A and B are shown apart, each in its own frame.
Chain A
Amino acid sequence: MILFSVSLALLSAGILCLALLRHKPRWAENVFLVFLTLGCGSAFISAVDTLIRQESFVDRLPWSLPWGEVTIGIDFVSALFLLAVTLLCFLAGVYGIGYLRNGEHQQDIAGHFCLYLVFLMSLMLVVTARNAVLFLLAWEGMSVSSYFLITYHDGNEEVRQAGLLYLIAAHIGTLCLWVMFILLGTQAGSMDFGRMSAAQFPLMLAGVVFVLGTIGFGVKAGFIPLHIWLPHAHPAAPSHVSAVLSGVMIKMGIYGIIRLIMMVKHFPPWCPAVLTAIGIVSGVGGVLYALGQHEIKKLLAYHSIENIGIIALGLGIGLWGQLNQYHTIAVIGYAGALLHVFNHAMFKGLLFLSAGSVIRQTHTGEIDHLGGLLKYLPWTGALFLIGSLAICGLPLFNGFISEWLVYRALFEGVFSFPMEPVILIGLAIIALALIGGLALMCFTKAFGTVFLGQARSQHAADLKENSAPMIAPMAVLAGVCVWIGIFPQTMVSFCLQGAMRILPTATNTADMANILRPVQWMVLSLFVLIGISIFLVLFRRMAMKNMSVAKSGTWGCGYAAASPRMQYTASSFASPIVELFREVLCLRRAKARPQQIFPEKVLVASEVIDASEHFFWRRIYRLMQEVCGRMKSIQCGYAQIYVLYIFIFLFLILIWKVT
């Protein structure tokens, strides 16, 4: 506790220092690094301490907000989130120093770092706040500071628009949270989380609160169809910010839902169904849209939606288990969700950072303009590959472990639950399988087009690998991904512990051993795989010794004049699936057909339209604009009419109230 307070104090000090260092960018970098390290370090240690010693605490700081106390606490769930927050924010921050150096807007660097610390601090407060008012305060602090982080390159119109969309979405979501917390607080008689947990909520109220929470937190988390800000904001932000946004900030929505489940406990039976359905739609929708993207960070942004979908599936099945008294299923589902939160923070952070490295060197994120970068950016490429393998949920990497837990919970749900849930759960399993397959396609596309084959532009030869301070954070993230992938026991047991804390009733520890045993076996089988691979590599090296190895061009099937531009593009690669889901994706094609006998230019461009954005939200916005435009004639400029308004209103009130 003391350590955590120290961390908060350090960060505040850092914020103050940086606010004063506007004109000294180099100084600002150092000061930022020092305070970031100290602040993240102490918070990280306090989180680890909580996880290891298994004791949570709640404490009240000597300070009072107008409507509540500053109560903070770290329990298991908070600690897990705190772990991801501090780790990723620290690494992304370190990366950010290198990323922003020598870029444009040097004079804003101190402000940027300052806001980064504000953002970090509000993230830490969000997961540790134990009072609704403090929570909302931190929540809005998070939204606003991240808005300014996103709009760092604000000379660009698109960036400003993206930021604005994000801020508006975030704030409207927050307004839903206001109502939600007020409803909870009214019932509990206090805005304190502890009191809320102790209160009893009628089922009806629980349902309303659930809906409000799902909307309010869902906007942040990026549930489809509330996700529209996400694919715009992530590409707009500097890469280290995208990493943090995608890695931890959208998880705050998940944290909120988990906290809500912990407080309300009993929900109407349709709630898990809704959560599962959201998971299915977001997961499959996210990955399908990702498949249609041509821009690397936009692609990654849609993958965030997909992963949020997977997490929602975990939560959904967990909640189902909780409501139907299947504690094992609930624990596994929640643990899967929690672990995936952490894992996603790691591998998505890694992916965004390595995408940032690519963009920093090539100045473009268009996948189809790149190619062959593995030769020029070997570290970035290798680390991106690790991230890709992890996000596809393939064995040996962390994504698999959490997806495996979610699968496990779902499969156990299939043969435990009554008919109606089983249909949805079956669908969820299929969706998860489809997500896996599509993600694989998407990341082979991304990795293959960007890093493999030949460069599609001439400038590639000048590219240099980024500096070590940028590579090192990525390497650490990759290390964590592999560590959890091969030695999952530690994190899985932490997450199981956390999941048990989510349940209202205590689960015995024998259960946990049962749940953990297959994980140990899995480690064994993974080692078999590793062993075989090592054996094969060694064997190959031996066998190759006395064999001829020749170098030659790629076999062009008889075509002699192949050029790099003839390589299969990302769009073509994705096209079989995009075509198959044409209707869902609202595929738009622009074609210029060959005109003369010797046509000069032929053009094919395809674009995937985000249906909920274009056919729902934009229309609503346009409608709103139109209605407001019409109503502007109220303010027509004639004083006589204005006077008449007064009397008409008076008259109406008289009729209403006096007769």
Chain B
Amino acid sequence: MLPIFSHILFVLALSPLLLGVIGKTKAFFAGRWGPPLLQPWYDIAKLFRKGVVYSTTTSWVFKLTPVVVMATALASCIFVPWGSIAPPVYFWGDALLFIYLYGLMRFFLIIGALDTGSSFEGMGASREAAFSCLSEIVLFMDFILLVMVSKSLVLCNMLNTGFFSSWLSMGPVLVLVAVSFFLVMLVENSRIPIDDPNTHLELTMIHEVMVLDHSGYDLGLILWGSYIKLFVLGSVLVSLFVPAHLSPLTGVTFFLCGMGVLGITIGVVESVMARLRLNRVPHLLIGAFVLATLGFIVILLKGA
């Protein structure tokens, strides 16, 4: 139990920081000083202190949504390694549970949005559902590649066993995996160029518009949950690059640096790119899928 707790606590603590790094980077590119690194923390704290407003249209589903979002986000983190520290729970096939937990999260986000009866939230929910269908198949394609490389269905093994050997033999494949996974991560977390978390035009938003009606504590949970989701998916990506068999301390350092780099990368991407038109988003995902499929073909031809 203890490892699980500590794991969860660390994620809870560290996940808003990643957003802080992204914010700082964007501010840097915009030539501003920007909000402090701990700003996401402050936001959450502020929301937790505020009162709540519920729409008369909503039912218990609406209230359940934030809880499920937070719970699934936290539950998903227990399968992800931190550098060379093994996750507290791992078993054959946990990668699938990992992905499907996000499915559960999404299900509730969507019905939570539909519960308000607002056409804008319905619109956002529809987009979220549609794009995540596509991002999910990319994710699975990446997992197929990782499974073929690692010959394992345990998430932590897929990510960092035999780091050097696999990078040596399967370098190109892993690069393709990393790139497509990065794109998936952006989509899943509604970052630019798919969605702009800071926009204020409801018609074009995806994720943000779904949580329009949530307020106070509930909104805090949802926000925090989405930070955790970004953090966990990010850590999956970073773990790909962390060599195994390092001492725990080096491993964790390596890992945290990697997360920092990831934050900066996202920040850079968000600074230099504009948001895509909505109907272009599927193309981006299809592109990512093609990349992953390319990796699949490479592996097949290599006869792994």
Contacts and interface: CB of A to CB of B under 8 A. Distances in A.
Interface stretch (A29-37, A569-577, A588-596, A627-635): A569-577
A272 B130 CA distance: 31
A554 B96 contact: no
B216 interface: yes
B174 interface: no
Interface string B84-109: 00000111111011001101101100
A415 B147 contact: yes
Contacts of B141: 426, 430
B52 A548 contact: yes
B126 A576 contact: yes
Q: Is the interface of A mostly helix, strand, loop or mixed?
A: helix
A454 B66 CA distance: 21
B59 interface: yes
A571 to B, nearest CB: 10
B75 A525 contact: yes
Given A426-B144, A434-B137, A522 B61 contact: no
Max chain B C-beta neighbours (<10 A), residue from A385, A426, A543: A426
Nearest to A394: B104
A155 interface: no
Nearest to B49: A547
B175 interface: no
Contact of B300 (A400, A422, A452): A422
Interface in B31-78: 48, 50-59, 61, 66-68, 70-72, 74-75, 78
Interface string A173-215: 0000000000000000000000000000000000000000000
Interface string A543-574: 11001111111111100001010111000111
A434 B125 CA distance: 18
B174 to A, nearest CB: 16
Contacts of A454: 57, 117
A517 B300 CA distance: 31
A411 B147 contact: yes
A400 to B, nearest CB: 6
A448 B296 contact: no
A429 B129 contact: no
Nearest to A437: B133
Interface in A414-452: 414-415, 419, 422-423, 426, 429-430, 432-434, 436-438, 440-441, 443-445, 447-449, 452
A8 interface: no
A374 B61 contact: yes
B212 interface: yes
A553 B55 contact: yes
B91 A522 contact: yes
B117 to A, nearest CB: 3
Contact of A444 (B107, B119, B143): B107
Max chain B C-beta neighbours (<10 A), residue from A392, A422, A448: A448
B270 interface: no
Interface stretch (A236-244, A467-475, A527-535, A637-645): A527-535
25 contacts: A375-B59, A385-B61, A393-B103, A394-B100, A414-B144, A414-B148, A433-B136, A433-B139, A436-B136, A440-B110, A448-B111, A522-B97, A532-B71, A536-B67, A547-B51, A548-B52, A549-B51, A551-B55, A554-B116, A555-B55, A555-B118, A557-B212, A568-B119, A576-B131, A580-B130
Interface of A: 371-372, 374-375, 385, 388-389, 392-396, 400, 404, 407-408, 411-412, 414-415, 419, 422-423, 426, 429-430, 432-434, 436-438, 440-441, 443-445, 447-449, 452-454, 517-518, 521-522, 524-525, 528-529, 532-533, 536-537, 540, 543-544, 547-557, 562, 564, 566-568, 572-577, 580
